[in-house]
Chain A
Amino acid sequence: MDTATTRLANAPTLAQRAYNIRRNALRMGEVQGQGYIAQALDISDVLAVAYFHAMRYRPEDPTWEERDRFLLSNGHYAIALYAALIEAGIVPEAELETYGSDDSRLPMSGMAAYTPGMEMSGGSLGLGLSIAVGMGLGLKRKNSSSRVYTLFSDGELDEGSVWEAISSASHYKLDNLIGIVDVNNQQADGPSTQVMGFEPLVARLEAFGWFVQRVDGNDLDAVLAAFDAAKTHVEPKPRMIVADTLMGKGVPFLEQREKNHFIRVERHEWQLAIAALDTGRP
């Protein structure tokens, strides 16, 4: 199927997709024993809307020319993207348990060379939007109707290169670019507001010439509406969705855990987390 919006009578709902993504991520976390699981949980709703409502792609052909491109600028969210790629059928389910292991196609930090559906190599932060600008320019050269979605994190707003790309996208009127910034207000050294404040973010991005929407990133309906508006907006501007999210969303004891940027989850807690998630199963 070419489009994720084709609906079969008993297709999973977006809420179920988001739940499956969260569950996949927790299972991978359990395999590795650690990981950026709090981030994976917070972004699962955005990924559900992206992969099961907004984006055009062919699971069996991840490099299909007419696909929408998805760039994971925050490479440490690979655990989250893999969870979505597995749910989408782009990465085989059987490989889930190889996450973070030797010779795996699912390393902890996203690698474009060998992971189906991973379009850039992550790890070094702040690169994705620049690549997106290039892809956007290239797609326009080819008169393609494909879009470039770039997911990045609020910490990356510290990087100057991100603002270079934000300027350039606006300068070149790249209306085929949709950026999503995960504002979970956490980065390595603490809350983003304390490390390097970026508010008023919407005003800053609008001043740079983008069409901006700010939504609760864990409200599926709001996220869906934002993706739709980002696609249909008529001005020749790039589009940004600022998604405010809650780290650990879906597993209450992880939502409340302090120091959750690289969260410490005890071995026995993974099953507790899955059980907690299951109680809210849609």
Chain B
Amino acid sequence: MKSTRPAPDLSKPRLTTSAMIASIASEGQRTRPAPFGHALVELARNRPDVIGMTADLGKYTDLHIFAKEFPERTYQMGMAEQLLFGAASGLAAEGFMPFTTTYAVFASRRAYDFIHQTIAEEDRNVKIACALPGLTSGYGPSHQAAEDLALMRAMPNMTVIDPCDAHEIAQVVPAMAAHEGPVYMRLLRGQVPVVLDEYDYKFELGKAKLLRDGKDVLMISSGLMTMRALEAATALADDRIDVAVLHVPTIKPLDAETIVREAGRSGRLVVVAENHTVIGGLGEAVAGLLMRSGVHAPFRQIGLPDEFLDAGALPTLHDRYGISLSEVVRQVKGWLK
């Protein structure tokens, strides 16, 4: 059913669409440039088997930083994502460790069969690093990877990581290399917020970390929503609402022990917040886990709706789809009434 859209009210001030170079940092937020690219360069100095590959998105996935340093270790495969991942499999078969980049939408949709069959099923040591996770682009549904975590989670033998900030991304890169086997990570690019350094945070693959404790609400989050959750916890403290934040950067394998333990502490509303559709991502993973574990906490999800998302300015879209700071705060307060 085609929906018609009336012409917009031209008298109202409008924000412009944030396209590919969007930064999700709020004003005044500390940032660091291209953490993925720089971390990969560091890793490659000690690991001669590391190579970089992309499908015509080197500049847009911060791989250009690696390419500049190691041009002879970088393969441009052209705008051909299925080839990209098949070739990554072949290079891994020959003993190399490809870090293979594109946008999350293209890896998880267009190239899914290739990743599934040539990388995951064959257990190739390929590290898939994808930009524009969830709603970090105002370009419209073609670039908004709202379901990539659900798709990658459902793939056997795939490790799935959704890091929060620059501090974490820098640690995820060597951790991915240390892990034997296929890994899918969402990456943030350009000027990436730095948040977790203030929490004395150290990334451990497969481990969830309680960044702050609180007795009223347990927010379980991943990726940039952990940054939002921490901001929300601060804001809600003003209303004497005490919020704990459990950061879950590894979506698969899930740190079941920590999640069940924290969610099992009675008296708290459990809210899972993710930059992803509410279908099949961290929220439903946690829900299933809690049900199977007999933990019956009050449970809510913050995430993108099961819709094709609008194009537009990111701040507008984050508000519209409930993942902005003000919307997170509003929803949590509403659930506590």
Contact call B117/A135, Cβ cutoff below 8 A: no
A-B contact count (CB 8 A): 91
A120 in the interface, Cβ–Cβ < 8 Å?
yes
The smallest C-beta distance from B39 to any residue of chain A, in angstroms, reads: 22
Contact call B113/A131, Cβ cutoff below 8 A: no
B63 in the interface, Cβ–Cβ < 8 Å?
no
A33 in the interface, Cβ–Cβ < 8 Å?
no
- Bound-state Cα–Cα, A138 to B85, Å: 14
Chain B residues numbered 107-127 whose CB sits less than 8 Å from any CB in chain A: 113-114, 117-118, 121-123
**Chain B residues with a Cβ closer than 8 Å to the other chain, count:** 26
Contact call B93/A164, Cβ cutoff below 8 A: no
Which chain A residue lies CB-closest to B94?
A138
Q: In this complex, which of B75, B77, B86, B118 has the most chain A Cβ atoms within 10 angstroms of its Cβ?
A: B86
The smallest C-beta distance from A75 to any residue of chain B, in angstroms, reads: 10
- Bound-state Cα–Cα, A121 to B77, Å: 22
A161-B86, A164-B80 known; A123 vs B94 contact (CB < 8 Å): no
**Residues in B neighbouring A139, C-beta threshold 8 A:** 94
The 8 Å CB contact of A164, one of B82, B92, B122, is B82
The 8 Å CB contact of B78, one of A112, A129, A131, A167, is A167
Chain B residues numbered 157-196 whose CB sits less than 8 Å from any CB in chain A: none
Taking chain B's interface residues, is the majority helix, strand, or loop, or is none over half, making it mixed? helix
A132 in the interface, Cβ–Cβ < 8 Å?
yes
Chain A residues numbered 142-161 whose CB sits less than 8 Å from any CB in chain B: 142, 160-161
The smallest C-beta distance from B49 to any residue of chain A, in angstroms, reads: 10
- Bound-state Cα–Cα, A101 to B34, Å: 52
**Residues in B neighbouring A127, C-beta threshold 8 A:** 86, 113-114, 117-118
B60 in the interface, Cβ–Cβ < 8 Å?
no
- Bound-state Cα–Cα, A259 to B95, Å: 43
Contact call A120/B122, Cβ cutoff below 8 A: yes
A136 in the interface, Cβ–Cβ < 8 Å?
yes
- Please list the residues of chain A having a beta carbon within 8 angstroms of any beta carbon in chain B: 112-113, 119-121, 123-124, 127, 129-139, 141-142, 160-161, 164-165, 167-168, 171
Beyond A134-B91, A134-B92, A161-B86, list 18 extra A-B contacts (CB 8 Å): A113-B123, A119-B93, A120-B118, A121-B118, A121-B121, A124-B117, A129-B86, A130-B90, A131-B90, A131-B93, A133-B83, A134-B93, A135-B90, A135-B91, A135-B93, A136-B90, A137-B75, A168-B77
